[in-house]
Structure 1
Amino acid sequence: MPDRLTAETPFVRRARRTNRRVRLFCFPHAGAGASAFAAWPALFPPEVEIVAVQLPGREDRVGEPHPPSVEAAVRTVAVALRPYLQGPYAFFGHSGGALMAFELARALRKRGTQPRHLFLSGQSAPGHDTPAPELHRLSDDDFSAALLGLDGTSDGVFTDPDLMKLLLPTLRADFTLWENHRHQPDRPLPVPITAFGGDTDPRAPVSGLQAWEEQTTGAFSLQVFSGGHFYLNDSEAELTMIIGSTLLGREPANAGRGERVR
């Protein structure tokens, strides 16, 4: 059973499964690339095939221009993933990746296809964001300090000037993309949604996670873990167990705290 993500197209890093029942597309947080999900293939049952999405400007695509808008990014990704949207599939996204997954699902509805499930992590529902300063407008020093406060990047990154010089443009471009995005209301999706978050995350409080219930006419559940914005760094095994069990129709253990199900 292959447990390694392999590049198949500029956008797709896939761990191919011959007995796949469902394909899970994974969208990383701001500044991150497909390698954020490098460990995931080994954590899922063999019936779940992991596809990590690599956007321009990330990792091995660092020299490519960043998308000028969320709308442009969604259109491009929808076309790039079209050959892989055969059979049952689902989306997972963390932080800005959750918004990408949600907006892509809305765009795909117009094309006659929908994911089986949306797993949205570390991100408040549209219209329920906690007021916060726009990070992309900060100076490099203040921007780096704000990112360090999210606990999503190793401290060593911020003490390595060469690495920061490489990463800052991508990080700033991603925050610019999402902080300038204005949600356009539409009817709820006919897709079950599971929201995940950390109980001390100031960027995605429980009330903002619960508000995803407004965006679906299907089932909704909420799992709250101990931790902040990057709670999943310490809860990867539990998180992936819940997702895999949900996709395969198995009864998941209550790994998160404060589970709420509609």
Structure 2
Amino acid sequence: MKRYLTRASQPSPGRMRMFCFPYAGGGASAYAGWQSRITADIEVLPVQLPGREGRMNEPRFTDLQALVAELDEEIGPELDHPHVLYGHSMGALIAYALAQHRYVRGSRLPAALVLGGHRAPHLPAPLPDDPGIRDEELVRLLDGHGGLPRVLLDHPEWLSALLPTVRDDLRLCAAAGTVDRTPLPVPLHVFGGSEDRLVTVDEVREWTRYSTAYGETLVVPGGHFFIREEDSFLDRLSALLRRYESRPDLAGAGPTDARQG
């Protein structure tokens, strides 16, 4: 099994797979339970980044390009089969950068990019990459912007252990401006939370310029962590994926930036 994947997978003809990348400070467990909620013809494959959960003792990446290069090396053979990429917050940036990396290399691209809760790369990062900021100040900043899952605020010991990972992930996110901004020939579906205090819907909507195929913005109830807060998101995501489950090479069609509330 590839160390970036939490379980083995055997590609089957005609079955789409969705690789899921976590938010800053998060791990593959963010997507636990998704398989039972997503259409059965899509296989959900959470991606475990180093330095968290089962890979806690491994050094974390703070260089985005180095991370996507290793991802392509490690799971590239899996990506040569029909697939969709999903990323939330930091994971959206990783998913997009990985697709750009493979586009430059002439490798197979995803049937669709599905991104949530992250500003388009040409916009400034919503949180500072400041190594001098104290833990207490960083927590206040994150909490003030809705950038921490509520469960962590209820368990200070978990939060304290997580902060080094969050700091490194913020450094990685600060590299958003270095990502190639060439629009990809891939359908791009971007989710934004209607009450997200960290990333506005207008900032999410800016992603649609990064696709030459089809771009749409979908607004769902909830804050920055709407993937944890609202069942309606998974219902919308499952409906979206049905467009691809029986046609794994679907290129996407429709008006650019078809917004749904």
TM value normalised by structure 2: 0.84
Distance 1:165 1:49, change over 3 A: same
Matches within 5 A, 1:102-121: 102-112=96-106, 113-121=108-116
Q: Counterpart of 1:211 in structure 2: which amino acid? A: E
Distance 1:87 1:133, change over 3 A: closer
Is the aligned partner of 1:12 residue 2:8?
no
TM value normalised by structure 1: 0.84
**Paired residues of 2:19 and 2:44 also in contact (CA < 8 A):** yes
Which residue of structure 2 lines up, in the alignment, with residue 26 of structure 1?
Answer: 20
Distance 1:185 1:240, change over 3 A: closer
Matches within 5 A, 1:28-67: 28-67=22-61
What displacement does 1:207 show? 1.5
Task: Give the match's secondary structure for 2:178.
Answer: coil
CA distances 1:201-228 after superposition (whole Å, capped 9, x unpaired): 2322121111111101001111101221
Unaligned 5+ residue runs, structure 1? 1-7, 251-257
**Paired residues of 1:15 and 1:49 also in contact (CA < 8 A):** no
Task: Give the match's secondary structure for 1:175.
Answer: helix
Q: Counterpart of 2:185 in structure 1: which amino acid? A: P
- Identity of matched residues, %: 33
**Paired residues of 2:85 and 2:95 also in contact (CA < 8 A):** yes
Which residue of structure 1 lines up, in the alignment, with residue 253 of structure 2?
Answer: none
Higher relative contact order (CA 8 A, sep 6+): 2
Distance 1:153 1:15, change over 3 A: farther
What displacement does 1:179 show? 2.1
Which residue of structure 2 lines up, in the alignment, with residue 4 of structure 1?
Answer: none
Which residue of structure 1 lines up, in the alignment, with residue 259 of structure 2?
Answer: 260
What displacement does 1:142 show? 1.4
Task: Give the match's secondary structure for 2:105.
Answer: coil
**Paired residues of 1:198 and 1:224 also in contact (CA < 8 A):** yes
For 1:37 and 1:19, how far apart are their aligned partners in 2?
24
What displacement does 1:186 show? 3.8
For 1:159 and 1:141, how far apart are their aligned partners in 2?
15
User: Which of 72, 88, 97 does residue 78 from structure 1 map onto?
Assistant: 72
Which residue of structure 2 lines up, in the alignment, with residue 97 of structure 1?
Answer: 91
Is the aligned partner of 1:207 residue 2:206?
no
Structure 1 residue ranges (4+ consecutive) displaced by more than 6 angstroms after TM superposition? none
What displacement does 1:131 show? 5.4
For 1:195 and 1:129, how far apart are their aligned partners in 2?
18
**Paired residues of 1:21 and 1:48 also in contact (CA < 8 A):** yes
Q: Counterpart of 1:171 in structure 2: which amino acid? A: V
**Paired residues of 1:66 and 1:173 also in contact (CA < 8 A):** yes
For 1:16 and 1:140, how far apart are their aligned partners in 2?
39
For 1:161 and 1:230, how far apart are their aligned partners in 2?
19
**Paired residues of 2:19 and 2:86 also in contact (CA < 8 A):** yes
CA distances 1:121-179 after superposition (whole Å, capped 9, x unpaired): 00111113475544655210111223334264234x34545433321111111112112
For 1:13 and 1:43, how far apart are their aligned partners in 2?
18
Instruction: Return 69-78 or 9-18, whichever deviates more.
Output: 9-18
**Paired residues of 1:194 and 1:221 also in contact (CA < 8 A):** yes
